[in-house]
Amino acid sequence: MKSTIKLSSALLSLALASACEERKPSGPLPPPPMGKPIRSAPVNGGPSKPKPQAPPASSLPPEVRALTGATLAAEAPPTKPPRFVDGYLEVAFELLTSYEYEWSTTTGEAAGDAASRIPFEVRALDQAKVFVHGYMQPIDFDKHGVKSFLLTNIPGGCCFGMIPRLNEWIDVTMPEGEYAEYTYFDKIEIRGKLLVGEAKSGEVVTALYRMTPDAVAIVEE
């Protein structure tokens, strides 16, 4: 049996060898096919292909411009110029509350670097004559009216059970012998010199913004 397998393997090898001999070319091999010669790029000078240019931002879809930041200047929101009324600069709570001030609502103490987080635009308002719109939260009052109050950006102290942040109110104290008329839901305007910075009682920060107003009035809308 083993001799039969060996004989079959030998015959198969001879058959393959014979087939290879028949396919072997008799003459010299033809040269391999050649393509066009490769030209090297010019080292100095010479014509070069223009670099592809990025498409203008105006041709991009709005969603692409939003993702890449390629917003046209004409599409940017206009910068609101400062408004002065009778020498008082308009200041909005959007600016006063535009930063995070780390302050504990339980101890009243601030983080060591909290004051440094007040942005320049806000610190620049210190000692400036401004007017601000907001809502009255009375602190000290009697039958004659309100002696001191907090001016907040929300009416009636409504903050969904949360304690307002320290930069969300202005501590307002009326001049000696003067009172403000009490109002609850009406928006009011205060005018006067704004003080910006940490007011402290010991280690407790009591206010960031303070004012003794020149005038307090209900805003006619």
pTM over the 0.85 mark: no
List phi, psi (to 5°) of 153.
-95, 5
Q: In the structure, what pLDDT confidence band is assigned to residue 58 with cuts at 50, 70 and 90?
A: low
Task: Give CA–CA dist 170/131, Å, rounded.
Answer: 12
Ordered by where they begin, the domains of the chain are 84-218 (2.40.50.870)
CA atoms 148, 153, 155, 161: torsion sign: negative
Whether 213 and 190 have beta carbons less than 8 Å apart is answered as yes
Average pLDDT value over all residues in the chain: 77
Most confident of 8-22, 30-44, 107-121: 107-121
Q: For 63-92, how does the pLDDT look when each residue is reduced to its tens digit (9 = 90+)? A: 455 444 444 444 544 556 789 999 999 999
User: Average of pLDDT values for 164-187?
Assistant: 93
Instruction: Collect all residues with Cβ–Cβ distance below 8 Å to 30 and sequence separation of at least 6.
Output: none
Q: In the structure, what pLDDT confidence band is assigned to residue 45 with cuts at 50, 70 and 90?
A: low
Picking from 203, 214, 204, 127, the residue whose alpha carbon sits closest to that of residue 172 is 214
Task: Give CA–CA dist 65/71, Å, rounded.
Answer: 6
Picking from 159, 157, 135, 132, the residue whose alpha carbon sits closest to that of residue 146 is 135
Question: What's the pLDDT score for residue 16?
Answer: 46
Give yes or no for residue 172 having a pLDDT over 80.
Answer: yes
Q: For 138-171, how does the pLDDT look when each residue is reduced to its tens digit (9 = 90+)? A: 999 999 999 999 999 988 655 455 667 889 999 9
Question: What's the pLDDT score for residue 179?
Answer: 97
